[in-house]
Structures are given as C-alpha cells and as structure tokens.
C-alpha cells in the first residue's frame, strides 16, 4: 500500500499531529451522527488513518491555515473549495479503494482528495477544469512526494479514456441530473463510482433544503449498473463542455 506521507509525518514533534488526529475523531463522530443516512456508524479504518496522515494545511491558502483541521470546507480560490473532511472520508469509503486499484478523480481542486486516494490506491488520475488549480495541485502533490498521482487540465465529464478502465471513480462536483456517460463507460466491471447529482426537487430535498444527493453506482461483472442514494450534499457544479 503506497503510504506516501507515512514517513513524512512520522515525526513525533510534528506540530499538526494532534490537530490531524482531532479532525479524524470529529469525522468519526459525524459518521455516527449521520448513521441513519449511511446505514452504518463506522468507516473503513484505513480511510480514517489516511485522513489522519495527510497534511491538510498544505492544501489550503495560507490565510486559512489556522482552520485547516476543522471539519468544514474552506475556499481555495476560483470559486472552488476544499471539501469537508467528513465528505472526503465518506466518498473514499464508498469507493472501497484497494491497494491494487487505479482511481479516477474528476475535480482535482487543491489536490487533497487525490492525496487521500493515493494513500490507499496504486495509481490516481485526477482531472481539473480550472488550469490554475490543476497546475498548483500538480506542483503541490509533487512537492509532498505523491508520485503515484497524475494531474491534468481538462473536461472531467469526458474522463481519461487512454487510462481507463478505472476500479473507482470519484467526482467532486455536482453533475446536472445525469451521470456523464463517459464516466460510466470508463468504470471497470466490479468498479464503483461516487458522484454528487443535481436532480431538482426530490426525496432528499426536504431534509437539508437543497437538491443534490451523493450517489454510489456499482457496475457488476456483467456491466449492469446499480445505483444507491446515500446522503444529501452540497457541491459546486460540474463543468461540462458539451458540443
């Protein structure tokens, strides 16, 4: 298992160690509080451990680093955010990433979710539609030693055809009423796709006052798709370049 940051963060004098542990504990508590949505009250311990290893403060703007280990999203510029650690952990858990997996992330942002995935997967491919964010994330991840992550600028809704198929796909922006067909095509048999979806008023809307839901899509060995709604969410919209 490629634990890219394990050595980096093993130092007992690491000033963020306690904050990272506290953040992971806050995520575990929120999982318990949302168990009625999730159908379970614990996430995979490997996911929680990855969350406690990755230096989240390196992925947020300097002026917000005092808040880096709070369990909440933070702005990263270009009208984008670094997701709440709870959501990052939940999406990673739903993807059920294994050490042999090749994973596609749509929406690199600052690179934090990609780093979490790289702690668990063999290879991570991440696409970002904002060129400045893609370039900054690639530089940041390389500086942190994540050599199993490849980042590029492009249309995430089109996936990464030349690297497909993927054992898991995570989308960190909300698609509009339908899952991009290219992502479904690039999901390997037995693979799992985790995506926020904008569906308009629906069964989950009343609970939180918005109309996005986090979906888990599983492709069986015969290529058939099974879809499960997990929890109401709020993400920035997925930019698709149609036509």
- What are the structure tokens assigned to 35, written together? 């168990």
> Distance between CA 229 and CA 214 in Å, rounded?
6
Q: What is the pLDDT of residue 67?
A: 97
- Within 10 angstroms of residue 234's Cβ, the number of other Cβ atoms is 15
Q: Could you tell me which residues come within 8 angstroms of residue 242 by beta carbon, excluding any fewer than 6 positions away? A: none
Go through 174-201 and write b for each residue having 16 or more CB atoms within 10 A of its CB, e for each that does not: bbeeebbebbbebbbeebbbbbbbbbee
Question: Can you say whether the dihedral through the CA atoms of 67, 70, 72, 78 is positive or negative?
Answer: positive
Domains of the chain listed by start with CATH number: 17-233 (3.40.50.150)
* Active-site residue flag, 83: yes
pLDDT of residue 2: 43
116 versus 242: the higher-pLDDT residue is: 116
d(CA 76, CA 174): 17
CB 218 within 8 A of CB 132: no
pLDDT of residue 242: 55
Q: Can you list the alpha helix ranges (DSSP code H) found in the chain?
A: 17-33, 35-38, 45-53, 85-95, 112-118, 131-143, 181-186, 205-208
Q: Which of 111-120, 154-163, 231-240 has the lowest mean pLDDT?
A: 231-240
- pLDDT in the model for residue 9: 45
Identify the three-state secondary structure at position 161: helix
DSSP code per residue over 162-188 = GG--EEEEEE-SBEESS--HHHHHHEE
Percentage of the chain beyond pLDDT 70 is: 89
The lowest-confidence range among 59-73, 115-129, 143-157, 202-216 is: 202-216
pLDDT at residue 205, rounded to an integer: 37
Q: Which of these, 120, 51, 89, lies nearest to 214 by C-alpha position?
A: 89
pLDDT tens, residue by residue, 100-154: 999 999 999 999 999 999 999 999 999 999 999 999 999 999 999 999 999 999 9
Q: How do residues 13-34 score in pLDDT, each as one tens digit?
A: 678 999 999 999 999 999 999 9
Of 5, 21, 83, 126, catalytic: 83
Pairing of strands 149-153, 80-82: unpaired
- What lies within 8 Å, CB to CB, of 90 at 6+ separation is 31, 38, 43, 214, 230, 231
Kindly indicate the confidence band of residue 211, based on its pLDDT and cuts at 50, 70 and 90. confident
Q: What is the mean pLDDT of residues 48-70?
A: 96
């Amino acid at each position: 298992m490629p634990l890219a940051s394990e050595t980096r963060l093993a130092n007992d004098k690491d000033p963020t160690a306690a904050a990272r542990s506290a953040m992971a504990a806050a995520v575990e508590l929120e999982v318990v509080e949302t168990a009625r949505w999730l159908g379970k009250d614990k996430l995979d311990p490997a996911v929680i451990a990855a969350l406690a290893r990755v230096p989240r403060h390196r992925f947020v703007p300097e002026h917000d680093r005092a808040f880096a280990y709070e369990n909440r999203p933070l702005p990263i510029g270009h009208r984008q955010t670094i997701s709440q650690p709870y959501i990052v952990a939940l999406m990673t858990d739903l993807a059920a990433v294994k050490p042999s997996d090749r994973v596609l992330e749509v929406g690199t942002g600052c690179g934090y979710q990609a780093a979490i995935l790289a702690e668990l997967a063999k290879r991570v491919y991440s696409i970002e539609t904002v060129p400045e964010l893609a370039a900054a994330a690639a530089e940041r991840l390389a500086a942190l030693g994540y050599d199993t992550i490849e980042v590029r600028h492009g249309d995430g809704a089109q996936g990464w055809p030349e690297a497909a198929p993927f054992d898991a796909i995570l989308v960190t922006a909300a698609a509009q009423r339908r899952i991009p067909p290219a992502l479904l095509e690039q999901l390997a048999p037995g693979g799992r796709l985790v995506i926020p979806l904008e569906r308009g008023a629906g069964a989950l809307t009343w609970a939180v006052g918005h109309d996005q839901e986090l979906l888990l899509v599983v492709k069986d060995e015969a290529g058939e798709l099974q879809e499960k709604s997990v929890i109401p969410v709020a993400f920035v919209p997925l930019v698709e370049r149609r036509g």
